[in-house]
């Protein structure tokens, strides 16, 4: 079946029919606006991310389910980076008229499977036709006590710099996909990144991070945002940047700088945060309980920008620092 046969309202009904009712949603899909409850005393955290065909995804390289999962995951990651608990989300779609309904069914299935894993509920959105490619916009609402919300601006000189999981896998996976490969852990990380929601929430509830961000544009670019907003500098030890077994296994096929992908690759959706050295053990134990690795990669300094030290102690000069949508060198 084609979308044109189903129609806008048929499609909205089809989506609404798959949503499980959840506590807190007083009015969901079907009215002019949704009405939801927030926990008394908590601040709402609201974030939006758009994914466009040809820029963020290529329909030839992903299946609809994982595209649905990733569309929500990248937004959940932003709530995680604030230390929040995600609760509700909106889905806006601009759809090419010839998109098969099967594709949309798979997309919604994937999206709602990710929603189920993190207890978030679809409460509305918007649907329109696209004269170009597919455009997906997701808005997530989360919440946290105002004093527990973690921003980018609280890093202090002397804080350690921590990163969850490993870096560079997603960018490696994208290279593999572009080379015609279809399976493997790096490809999985690129197509279906797990948002670190439980980790961000647990860290915030324990009062550990002074500043936090999710690594979406690449380590150097995202750490740069923390440094700029906090008015501090940093020294990163290249040797300590966490790499997966898969990444190390493929490192020799990477032409040029082997650190390019871990430092600037982007889309890893790991959490990058700063915390006083006294919190190192607590942070490690907390993440270990959640089954996710944690690595100290450097330290915050009073000034001096971002310095990366290579294994031999020399200054490392990366070729470029991260993804920028309007740059001509991507």
Chain residues that interact with Mg ion, rule: CB under 5 A: 126
SS3 content of the chain, % helix, strand, coil (to 5): 35, 25, 40
Tell me whether residue 45 is exposed, middle or buried, using C-beta atoms within 10 angstroms of its C-beta: 0 to 12, 13 to 18, 19 or more.
buried
Q: Which stretch binds ligand ADP (CB under 6 A): 73-81, 121-129, 190-198, 214-222?
A: 121-129
Instruction: State yes or no: residue 114 binds ligand ADP (CB under 6 A).
Output: no
Q: Rule CB under 6 A: choose which of 43, 127, 130, 321 binds ligand ADP.
A: 127
Instruction: State yes or no: residue 122 binds ligand ADP (CB under 6 A).
Output: yes
Q: Minimum Å distance from CB 224 to ligand ADP?
A: 35
- x-marked contacts with ligand ADP along 1-20 as a string, rule CB under 6 A: -----------x--x-----
Q: Minimum Å distance from CB 11 to ligand ADP?
A: 7
Of the CA atoms within 13 Å of residue 135, those in its CB half-sphere come to 13
Residue nearest ligand ADP, CB atom distance: 124
Residue 276: both structure tokens together? 């006083």
Q: Rule CB under 6 A: choose which of 45, 67, 76, 93 binds ligand ADP.
A: 93
126, β-bridge pairs = 92
Instruction: State yes or no: residue 67 binds ligand ADP (CB under 6 A).
Output: no
Q: Minimum Å distance from CB 27 to Mg ion?
A: 15
Tell me whether residue 283 is exposed, middle or buried, using C-beta atoms within 10 angstroms of its C-beta: 0 to 12, 13 to 18, 19 or more.
buried
Q: In the complex with ligand ADP, which residue's Cβ is closer, 122 or 177? A: 122
DSSP of 206-256: TT--SEEEE-SS-HHHHHHHHHHHHT-EEEEEGGGS---HHHHHHGGG--S
Site of interaction with ligand ADP (CB under 6 A): 12, 15, 29-32, 91, 93, 122, 124-127
């Amino acid at each position: 079946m084609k979308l044109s046969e189903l129609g806008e309202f048929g499609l909205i009904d089809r989506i609404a029919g798959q949503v499980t009712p959840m506590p807190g949603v007083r009015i969901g899909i079907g009215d002019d606006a949704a009405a939801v409850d927030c926990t008394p005393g908590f601040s709402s955290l609201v974030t939006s991310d758009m994914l466009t065909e040809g820029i963020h995804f290529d329909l030839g390289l992903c299946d609809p389910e994982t595209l649905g999962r990733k569309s929500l995951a990248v937004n959940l990651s932003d709530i995680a980076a604030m230390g929040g608990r995600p609760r509700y989300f909106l889905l806006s779609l601009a759809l090419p008229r010839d998109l098969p309904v099967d594709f949309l069914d798979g997309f919604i299935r994937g999206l709602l499977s990710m929603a189920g894993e993190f207890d978030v509920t679809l409460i509305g959105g918007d649907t329109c036709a696209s004269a170009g490619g597919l455009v997906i916009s997701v808005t997530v609402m989360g919440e946290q006590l105002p004093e527990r919300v973690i921003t980018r601006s609280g890093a202090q000189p002397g804080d350690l710099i921590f990163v969850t999981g490993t870096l560079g896998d997603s960018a490696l996976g994208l290279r593999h996909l572009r080379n015609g490969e279809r399976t493997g852990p790096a490809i999985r990380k690129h197509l279906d990144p797990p948002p670190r929601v439980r980790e961000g929430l647990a860290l915030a509830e324990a009062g550990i991070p002074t500043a936090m961000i999710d690594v979406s544009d690449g380590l150097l670019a995202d750490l740069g945002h923390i440094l700029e907003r906090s008015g501090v500098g940093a020294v990163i030890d290249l040797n300590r940047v966490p790499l997966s077994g898969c990444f190390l296994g493929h490192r020799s096929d990477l032409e040029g700088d082997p650190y390019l992908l871990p430092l600037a690759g982007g889309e890893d959706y790991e959490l990058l945060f700063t915390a006083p050295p006294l919190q190192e053990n607590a942070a490690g134990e907390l993440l270990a309980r959640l089954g996710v690795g944690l690595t100290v990669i450097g330290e915050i300094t009073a000034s001096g920008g971002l310095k990366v030290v290579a294994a031999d102690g020399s200054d490392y000069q990366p070729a470029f620092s991260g993804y920028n949508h309007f740059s001509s060198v991507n």
